[in-house]
Structure formats: C-alpha cells, structure tokens
Structure 1
Amino acid sequence: MGSIDGVVKKPLVKHSDDRGYFMELLRKDDAIYGSFGQASLSMSFPGVIKAFHYHQLQDDIWFFPSGHAQVVLHDMRKDSPTYRKTEAHYMGEDNSYLLFIPRGVAHGYRVLGLKPVTIVYFTNMAYDANQPDEYRLAYDDPQIAFDWSTKSR
C-alpha cells in the first residue's frame, strides 16, 4: 500500500489545559480547503462498515472526533499515477487529523472497538438529492479486494 496521489493528511494540534482542550479543524486558508459546500455529522455503531462510494465532482475532508475507524481509500482515477492503489488510515480520537479525499477516490470506513464512531466531514459541494454525485461499490468489491478483517498478532 502506498500513498494515493492527491490524498492529504493535515495533522491537528490540541491545546489542552485544566479546563479541557481546543482544536482548530479547518480554515479557509488551509491548502486542503478548496471551497465550502456542506458540513455533515454522522455516527455509526461498533462493527459497522460503510463502504465504498466515490464522487466525480466532490472532494471530501474527513475527521473522526470520537471513536476509532479504519478508513480505506482506493484510487479509481484512470489518469492518476496511483490508479488502483489502495491504502488504509487509522483515524479517531487517539489519532486526530483531517484527511482530504479527492474526487475519484473511493472511500469507506469500518468502526473499530466497542463504542460508536462519530465522523464530521466537509465537502466542496452541497448534496443534491435530484442529482447525487455519489457512486456506490460493495464493501467487498472484488476489484478493490480489501480484507476488512482484524488480524491478530
């Protein structure tokens, strides 16, 4: 597994004191920002797999503020130097960063651990139910062939 072209991780910094913490997520002057379309929040229960889908016009920026997730990306862009590459990211409350997912990269996640995961995501387009820019693939799509099982050591 290698780094997929155009995917960007933005490390996040927690500023903690005896009252709690503060963390800046996304700023309009961030290199990964692009333009604003929509911000969304979703929660998934332990063991759930939400995969795969991709967009032709929309870029996503993902953040998991609570819980833990295995995020899997697969490059569907025929003109990309990383076409058909797959990579996994382990994101969540103990590993905080933003993940920029460019259009044409299939993405999905599996909830890890025994508690729900929360995802906050930003897109460069607002969702349009009449013309959804969302193309689905099965979580076990044979062309991606990702093994979602947890390996014991």
Structure 2
Amino acid sequence: MIEGVKTKKLIKHCDDRGYFMEMLRDDDGWLASFGQLSASLSYPGVIKAFHYHKQQDDIWFFPKGNAQVVLHDLREHSPSFQQTEVYYMGEHNPISLFIPREVAHGYRVLGNEPAMILYVTNRSYNPEQPDEYRIAFDDPVIGFDWSTKFR
C-alpha cells in the first residue's frame, strides 16, 4: 500500500426502510477538521421526519433518486421562526442544502426508485450523547401534509 493511503471498511445498518452508513468521521483522523460524512438509502414512499439538532449543522445532497425535503424553523429568535419550507432535491434537481442547527428537517422519497442521501455534519454522532431530537412526521404544530397532490 502506498504510504499514507488509508481505507475504512464501511458498515451498513439495515432495516425495512433502507440503510444507514457512516462514511467518514472526524475521529477517523483523516482530516484536520471535520464532523462526519454519512450515506443513507431509503425506499420509495418512505418518510423520515422530523428531527433537529441543538449543536449540529447538516449539509444534504441526494445523488440518487428524488426527495421532497421539508424544513421547519424552531429557532425562537430567528426572523423565520415557525416557517416551513419545501425543497425538491435529487437527480432532477441536484443541489446541496445547508440546514442550520435548531431547524427541524425530514424528507419523503419520491418516485418508484430508492433515494440516497449523502450528508455532512460539523460533528460526529455520539451515541452516548446524541444531539438528535425527534418530532413526529405528522406533528400538528408543524402541520405539514406529506400527501402528493395532483392538480
């Protein structure tokens, strides 16, 4: 092996919705400053929502498939407090999305193919002190309707 080159065996955590995989973590020691790069695959129609973080920022990208991404601002001192925004991301609209801490986020897979999300965070997941707070996908305060509407 060439000096300095490193490999890492990736572990998939699978369930009936798809899988989750940590691709790179700051404690891997590969980069001087970094949080975590992760990948997750979800099957058609799956809704993964909502959750937020108090210390973690996210950057989302969907390289495969398409998703409806929903954000809801929980930051009381923000000018957009309690606003909800929808983004359509994926193969048909390849964008990266920065999600600040204390903004609830989730997504629904669109179409008939699985969607893969790659996301970068400014800190690694710590199972002993998870910075992850859940809100039901159908929370009445957020009031988002996940159904597809035809005009």
Q: TM-score, normalised by structure 1?
A: 0.77
**Residue of structure 2 equivalent to 1:143:** 141
Larger of the two Rg values belongs to structure = 2
Compute the TM-score of the two structures, normalised by the length of structure 2.
0.78
AA of the residue aligned to 1:152: F
What residue number does 1:48 align with? Answer: 46
Q: Which amino acid aligns with 2:93?
A: N
For structure 1, the 5+ residue unaligned runs are 1-34
Higher relative contact order (CA 8 A, sep 6+): 1
Alpha-carbon RMSD across the aligned residues, in angstroms, is 0.7
**Over 3 Å off, 4+ runs:** none
Amino acid at match of 2:36: Q
Unaligned stretches of 5+ in structure 2? 1-32
How far did residue 36 of structure 1 move?
2.0
Equivalent position amino acid for 2:137 in 1: Y
Task: Write the distance in 2 (CA, Å) between the matches of 1:105 and 1:91.
Answer: 18
Cα offset, 1:140, TM superposition: 0.2
Q: Deviations along 1:52-81, whole A, 9 cap, x unmatched?
A: 000000000000001000000000000100
Q: Distance in 1 between matches of 2:34 and 2:68?
A: 26
1:64 aligns with 62
Give the Cα–Cα distance (whole angstroms) in 2 for the partners of residues 52 and 38 of structure 1: 20
Q: What are the Cα deviations for residues 83-139 of structure 1, in whole angstroms up to 9, with x where unaligned?
A: 000000000011001000000000000000000000000000000000000000000
Aligned residues: 119
**Aligned twin of 2:98:** 100
Partners in 1 of 2:130 and 2:72 — Cα distance? 20
